[in-house]
């Protein structure tokens, strides 16, 4: 599998990372170099093999559905680039 | 004063107990060493005020007879661990200025046991790298240099700052993390000891996430005993991390010096790679001989899917990273680059905030998870992962107690190496011996075992059964007794 320039732009869009026109060919080369190498996995017969979803075989521990934390919005928003009245401020999302 | 920094954690702990000096004196000695060696760029943030405050509190507890397991011991903390009120930026521009209002569970455990924080240690950005050259704050220099050559060398990565600081005696020990080899490879490059415990042994809560099914915290230290001491404090089950496992943390230190007679050690044929330097093969043979001398039985084993671990890792890890790093969008913390609308803000922030290696991995991850490719890549890689784990399970079921391999395919290489820079895959190959262990979720320890022809440290790796770090410490101690200790001229 390999990517072309249009795919590189599409991936950047999905990843929400702006890339400039002159970066596209270099990225195309680097991604294809990695994807090329990954092709090695095609050699492995994985028919009838389950994908590994958990490294350690365990049931996820659950907890009581109770509020045990919170009530300090100033601390939560303290690192925000822009905040007001304990809200995170961003450019308009909905027209 | 500088002699105080020559003491291991075990030695310092005993001396503090015997009132030979105070934690404040020990801490001041380390702070002075840090200042004298800023050229290594191991620390990206020194916290002298906090260190002294913690040292004084430790001295009070020691005087009152209430010393904890690490009371008064000055440690360096990898920048990936959230330290309350102290900058935590994963050495990335995109987390500029982030000061967590919470403490990671692992570091909270260390402070609970009385340790002192000297500062935050440099690392590859978001733990992505094998040379500490992707840090926003510049590379770290290995305190080791090749004989007769003044060229600066890398300390390995991603925990390059941690390994360099321990080797250069700028802390008594350091915390680190390992996703594909980021504790074991830098430990091997710097002549220090590093263990990646079993997945689930240490809590990941409060550690900036890279690949959630692979990440694991662990210590880097000067010797095996110190490593055991640190892991005992770091490990815990945590209700805030549902992947942490509720298994008692043994007294790892207790097995130092216990006989390994009768233990079965596997040597996997597939770890003998083409073009492996003669130095490394020779060291591996030495390790085998030492363990045999100590009464262990060494047998040849096969781990057939070994060569597929690294390519599979470079699907799984970037995929998980692309998901974990989606949160860095300029909204709630860190860097924000303005845009005419919200999407532009995201795109501008992430373009400026992420370095090229991080961007590369996010893009690979995004691609392999995208519609139409998920089965071909991600599911395929997860199936290969099952086979890799099965290789180990088969060998352990056959009675093997631990597996002995080299830790790295070479000794430390030069900073800004052109060969490495020309091809991203070349850098990835540094993890060829370590990555299988993360893919299988097993514990792995790197222990210094010798020097190469240029006088640079080389390490051996031991891979163990799940939650059997005890056996690894026991075996590593045997190797250490035979190999000796290695320190750079500094």
Task: Identify whether B158 is a catalytic site residue.
Answer: yes
Task: Give the 3-state secondary structure of residue B449.
Answer: strand
- Using alpha carbons only, give the angle B214, B227, B130 rounded to the nearest 5 degrees: 45
ipTM score here?
A: 0.95
pLDDT at B238 over 70: yes
Of residues B230, B220, B248, the one with CA closest to residue B69: B230
User: pLDDT grade, residue A93 (50/70/90)?
Assistant: confident
Per-residue pLDDT of B416-433, as tens digits, reads: 999 888 888 889 998 999
Per-residue pLDDT of B33-72, as tens digits, reads: 999 999 999 999 999 999 999 999 999 999 999 999 999 9
What pLDDT is attached to residue B486? 95
- Which uninterrupted H or E stretch holds B281? helix B278-293
pLDDT at B159 over 90: yes
pLDDT at B1 over 50: no
| Mean per-residue pLDDT of chain B | 97
Contact of B151 with B143, CB cutoff 8 Å: no
Mean pLDDT of B421-450: 94
Cβ-defined contact of A91 to B345 (cutoff 8 Å): yes
Per-residue pLDDT of B197-206, as tens digits, reads: 999 999 999 9
Mean pLDDT of B106-110: 98
Per-residue pLDDT of B459-473, as tens digits, reads: 999 999 999 999 999
What pLDDT is attached to residue B29? 98
Task: Identify whether B182 is a catalytic site residue.
Answer: yes
pLDDT above 70 coverage of chain B, percent: 100
Mean pLDDT of A26-52: 94
- Interface size, chain A vs chain B, as Cβ–Cβ contacts under 8 Å: 157
How many CA atoms does the CB half-sphere of B41 hold within 13 Å? 19
Task: Give the 3-state secondary structure of residue B121.
Answer: strand
- What predicted TM-score, i.e. pTM, was given to this entire model? 0.97
Distance from CA of A95 to the nearest CA of B (A): 10
- Omega of the bond prior to B17 within 30 degrees of 0, cis? no
Mean pLDDT of B261-277: 94
What pLDDT is attached to residue A79? 97
What pLDDT is attached to residue B73? 98
Cβ-defined contact of A52 to B386 (cutoff 8 Å): yes
Where are chain A's structural domains? 5-42
Mean pLDDT of B281-306: 98
**Distance in angstroms (rounded) separating the CA atoms of residues A77 and B332:** 7
Task: Confirm or reject CATH 3.90.1300.10 for domain B2-258, answering yes or no.
Answer: yes
| Mean per-residue pLDDT of chain A | 93
Q: Residue B376: which residues within 8 A CB-CB, separation 6 or more?
A: A1
pLDDT at B91 over 70: yes
Of residues B287, B282, B312, B277, the one with CA closest to residue B402: B287
B376 touches chain A (CB under 8 A): yes
Which residues in A lie closer than 8 A to residue B200 (C-beta atoms)?
Answer: 55-56, 58
Cβ-defined contact of B389 to A55 (cutoff 8 Å): yes
Per-residue pLDDT of B329-388, as tens digits, reads: 999 999 999 999 999 999 999 999 999 999 999 999 999 999 889 999 999 999 999 999
Cβ-defined contact of A1 to B338 (cutoff 8 Å): no
What pLDDT is attached to residue B2? 66
Q: What are phi and psi of B406, to 5 degrees?
A: -65, 160
Per-residue pLDDT of B307-322, as tens digits, reads: 999 999 999 999 999 9
Retrieve residue B128's tokens: 């992505």
Cβ-defined contact of A79 to B424 (cutoff 8 Å): no
Cβ-defined contact of B341 to A56 (cutoff 8 Å): no
What pLDDT is attached to residue A60? 85
**Distance in angstroms (rounded) separating the CA atoms of residues B82 and B103:** 5
From the list B23, B58, B78, B232, the catalytic residue is B78
Partner residue facing A18 (CB), from B348, B383, B440 = B348
What pLDDT is attached to residue B247? 95
Task: Identify whether B487 is a catalytic site residue.
Answer: no
Per-residue pLDDT of B173-210, as tens digits, reads: 999 999 999 999 999 999 999 999 999 999 999 999 99
How many CA atoms does the CB half-sphere of B285 hold within 13 Å? 6
Q: Which residue of A has its CA nearest to B84?
A: A75
pLDDT at B406 over 50: yes
Contact of B66 with B167, CB cutoff 8 Å: no
Partner residue facing B308 (CB), from A40, A88, A91 = A40
pLDDT at B399 over 50: yes
């Amino acid at each position: 599998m390999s990517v072309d320039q249009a795919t590189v732009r599409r991936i950047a869009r999905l990843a929400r990372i702006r890339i400039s026109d002159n970066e596209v060919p270099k990225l195309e080369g680097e991604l294809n170099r990695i994807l090329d190498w990954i092709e090695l996995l095609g050699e492995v017969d994985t028919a009838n093999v389950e994908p590994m979803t958990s490294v350690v075989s365990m049931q996820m521990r659950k907890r009581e559905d109770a509020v045990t934390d919170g009530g300090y919005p100033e601390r939560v928003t303290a690192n925000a680039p822009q905040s007001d009245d304990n809200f995170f401020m961003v450019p308009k999302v909905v027209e | 004063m500088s002699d105080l920094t020559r003491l291991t954690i075990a030695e310092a702990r005993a001396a503090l107990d015997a009132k030979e000096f105070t934690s404040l004196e020990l801490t001041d000695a380390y702070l002075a060493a840090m200042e004298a060696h800023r050229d290594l760029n191991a620390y990206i943030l020194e916290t002298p005020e906090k260190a002294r405050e913690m040292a004084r509190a430790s001295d009070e507890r020691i005087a009152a007879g209430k010393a904890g397991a690490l009371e008064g011991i000055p440690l360096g903390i990898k920048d990936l661990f959230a330290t309350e009120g102290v900058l935590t930026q994963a050495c990335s521009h995109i987390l500029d200025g982030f000061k967590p209002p919470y403490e990671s569970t692992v570091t909270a455990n260390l402070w609970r046991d009385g340790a002192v924080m000297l500062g935050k240690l440099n690392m590859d950005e978001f733990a992505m790298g094998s040379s500490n050259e992707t840090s926003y704050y510049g590379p770290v220099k290995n305190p080791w240099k090749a004989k007769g050559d003044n060229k600066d060398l890398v300390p390995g990565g991603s925990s390059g700052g941690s390994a360099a600081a321990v080797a250069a005696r700028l802390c008594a020990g350091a915390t680190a993390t390992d996703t594909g080899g980021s504790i074991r490879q830098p430990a091997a490059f710097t002549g220090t000891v590093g263990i990646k415990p079993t997945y689930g042994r240490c809590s990941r809560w409060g550690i900036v996430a890279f690949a959630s099914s692979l990440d694991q915290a662990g210590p880097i230290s000067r010797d095996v005993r110190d490593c055991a001491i640190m892991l005992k404090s770091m490990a815990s089950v945590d209700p805030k991390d549902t992947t942490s496992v509720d298994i008692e943390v043994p007294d790892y230190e207790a097995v130092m010096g216990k006989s390994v007679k009768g233990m079965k050690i596997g040597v996997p044929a597939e770890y003998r790679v083409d073009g492996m330097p003669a130095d490394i093969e020779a060291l591996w043979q030495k390790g085998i001989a030492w363990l045999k001398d100590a009464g262990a039985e060494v047998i040849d084993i096969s781990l057939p899917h070994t060569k597929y671990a690294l390519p599979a890792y470079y699907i799984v890890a970037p995929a998980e990273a692309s998901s974990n790093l989606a949160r860095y969008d300029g909204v709630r913390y860190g860097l924000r680059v303005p845009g005419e609308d919200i999407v532009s803000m995201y795109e501008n922030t992430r373009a400026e905030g992420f370095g090229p290696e991080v961007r590369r991995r996010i893009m690979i991850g995004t691609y392999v998870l995208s519609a139409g490719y998920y089965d071909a890549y991600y599911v395929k890689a997860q199936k290969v992962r099952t086979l890799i784990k099965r290789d180990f399970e088969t060998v352990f079921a056959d009675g093997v107690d631990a597996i002995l391999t080299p830790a790295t395919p070479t000794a430390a290489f030069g900073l800004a190496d052109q060969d490495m820079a020309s091809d991203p895959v070349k850098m990835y190959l540094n993890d060829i011996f370590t990555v299988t262990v993360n893919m299988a979720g097993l514990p792995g320890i790197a222990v210094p075992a010798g020097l190469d022809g240029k006088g640079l440290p080389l390490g051996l790796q031991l891979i163990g059964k799940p939650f059997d770090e005890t056996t690894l410490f026991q075996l590593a101690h045997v190797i250490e007794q035979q190999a000796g200790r290695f320190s750079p001229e500094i």
